[in-house]
Each structure stands twice: as C-alpha cells, then as structure tokens.
C-alpha cells in the first residue's frame, strides 16, 4: 500500500492531500458522514452565502465532492499506477469557511503496476462508479436536476481529470483517448464529454451544465458549457486558447 502524500507531486493539480489531523478535527467529515446528512446542511449554507439556486448548488457540490476523490485518484493511477480505494468510511473531506471542501484525506492506495492494463482500467472505473452511485443517492433527493444530470457531472469530472494542466499537445490528445477507452468499457449511466482539439490544445463539451449562469454576477463556463450554441463556440474557444500559459499566461476553463 502507498500513501498518496508520499508520491512525487510536481504535476499534481487537485484538492490538497492532507489528513484529519491537519486543522480542526470538527471541519473533517468522512464521505459516509457527509452522505448521511451534513452535505444537505453544507449545500444550504453555501446557497445562502453565494445566492446560488438550489440546482446550481447541487451541480457544484456533485462536481466538487466527485473531484475530491477523482482528481487525485486519476493522477495517482495515471502517473504511478496507484489507486486509492474508494472507501467512504475512510475518505474524509475538509469543510472550509466558504462552505465548500478544500482538502481530502484518501489514506493509502493499491499498487496496480503489475496488473494488465485492462484490469487496472476496470479497477479505476469501478471505484469511480461506486463514488458516483453513493454521491448521486445522497444529493439527488435534495435537487430537482434528476439523477442522470447529477451522474453527468461525475462522468465529466472523471473524463476531464485525465487532461494534463495545461491541456496542450499530444499529451492531452492521448489523455482524452485514454479517458474514452475507460468510459467505453465502463457502465456509467451517462456518456463522456465531446472532446475538442483546437490549435494544439484540448478541451471538452460536457454532458453536464454547472448552471453557474444562474448565480448573480456569474456566467457560463465557456467554451465547455453544453448550453452554448455551436455557432457561438468558436469565439469562446479562441479566447480560451489565447489565455493558456503558452500564449498569454491566462487560466483555463471550468473543466
């Protein structure tokens, strides 16, 4: 077994990997604890603080909680062939003053380097499917979006976690293909995103919409938002591409 915090993390982009001993123990919740009720209270507090409608909050929290496990798990699996087990009794999230989660404790991971590639891919997909099943069951009753829409956030988060940051060159194209390969063999309720390879960079149009445009003062996640009309997307793509570090040193899209 391998402690993920001991792995080389120069290329890691995701939630901070800590332990419940870091900070106030009262701020830490296992996923099982979250699923059993506190996530509803955290969603309500976030919604009141940010003026986000309930469905936008549900979309945010589904993506955030999914990313707590998925982003470090995909990074560890891709770079080191180590997979942290999905165990909601052992995985813990830290709630910050903004009423969202800024760190995760994953514990140890299994070394899959000796397994056949398809076996390792299946193990990763099954772990994420377990996460998605539990997460949608916990958030679904508190949202009008429907379980399929929530699942789309899980699937999109999983697929886009494979992209390098920034998502440039052949490495990004290969990563997108690997995500597609794993999703094709998995039995998720929703398909993966549609990839866009644009001027040497890769992004996606997801199956999910975070509904951020419903938050006062916010906007959609151009150019990846599925609600953008295809005829309007080229201008958004150009602006996104010009903002990547190899050009003007800007940021990335929501995904």
Domain spans of the chain? Answer: 2-242
Banded model confidence at residue 12, pLDDT cuts 50, 70, 90: confident
Angle at 95 between CA 211 and CA 165, to 5 degrees: 60
Q: What would the pLDDT profile of 69-113 be if each residue is shown by its tens digit?
A: 999 999 999 999 999 999 999 999 999 888 889 999 997 899 999
Cα 228 from chain centroid? 21
Q: Answer yes or no: are the C-beta atoms of 72 and 106 closer than 8 Å.
A: yes
Q: Answer yes or no: are the C-beta atoms of 166 and 253 closer than 8 Å.
A: no
CATH of 2-242, one of 1.10.10, 1.10.510, 1.10.287, 1.10.3470: 1.10.510
Residues forming beta bridges with residue 15, ordered by sequence position: none
Banded model confidence at residue 156, pLDDT cuts 50, 70, 90: very high
pTM higher than 0.85, yes or no? yes
Q: What number of other Cβ atoms are within 10 A of residue 128's Cβ?
A: 25
Q: What number of other Cβ atoms are within 10 A of residue 8's Cβ?
A: 8
Which residues in the chain belong to E strands, given as ranges?
2-3, 16-17, 28-30, 82-84, 92-95, 101-105, 108-111, 194-198, 201-205
């Amino acid at each position: 077994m391998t402690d993920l915090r001991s792995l080389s993390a120069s290329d890691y982009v995701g939630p901070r990997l800590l332990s419940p001993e870091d900070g106030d123990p009262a701020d830490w919740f296992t996923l099982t604890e979250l699923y059993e009720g506190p996530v509803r209270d955290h969603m309500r507090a976030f919604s009141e603080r940010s003026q986000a409608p309930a469905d936008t909050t549900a979309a945010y929290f589904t993506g955030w909680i999914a990313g707590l496990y998925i982003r470090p798990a995909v990074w560890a699996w891709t770079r080191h062939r180590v997979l942290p087990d999905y165990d909601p009794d052992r995985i813990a999230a830290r709630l910050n003053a903004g009423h969202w989660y800024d760190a995760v404790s994953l514990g140890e991971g299994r070394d899959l380097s000796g397994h056949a590639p398809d076996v390792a891919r299946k193990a990763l997909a099954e772990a994420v499917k377990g996460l998605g099943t539990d997460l949608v069951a916990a958030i679904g009753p508190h949202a009008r979006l429907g379980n399929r829409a929530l699942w789309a956030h899980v699937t999109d988060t999983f697929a886009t976690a494979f992209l390098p940051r920034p998502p440039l060159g052949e490495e990004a194209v290969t990563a997108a293909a690997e995500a597609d390969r794993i999703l094709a063999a998995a039995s998720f309720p929703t398909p993966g995103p549609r990839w866009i390879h644009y001027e040497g960079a890769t992004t996606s149009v997801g199956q999910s919409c975070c509904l951020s445009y419903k938050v006062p003062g916010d906007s959609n996640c151009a150019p990846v938002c599925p609600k953008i009309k295809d005829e309007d997307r080229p201008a958004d793509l150009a602006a996104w591409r010009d903002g990547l570090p190899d050009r003007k040193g800007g940021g990335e899209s929501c995904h």
